[in-house]
Amino acid sequence: MKTKVLREIERKFIVKPDLIGELKTGYKIEQGYIVNTPEKQVRVRIIGDRAELTIKGKRESAARLETNMDLDVVRARFLLNNFCEGSLIIKTRYMIPYKGYTWYVDVFNGDNLGLILAEVELRNEDEYFTKPSWIGKEVTNDERYYNHNLSSNPYKNWRDKV
Active site residue 33: yes
CB atoms within 10 A of CB 65: 15
Cβ-based neighbours of 147, under 8 Å, separated by 6 or more: 31, 43, 89
H-assigned helices in the chain = 17-20, 73-82, 147-152
**Catalytic residue selected from 33, 94, 146, 155:** 33
User: Which of these, 25, 150, 145, lies nearest to 93 by C-alpha position?
Assistant: 25
Catalytic machinery residues: 33
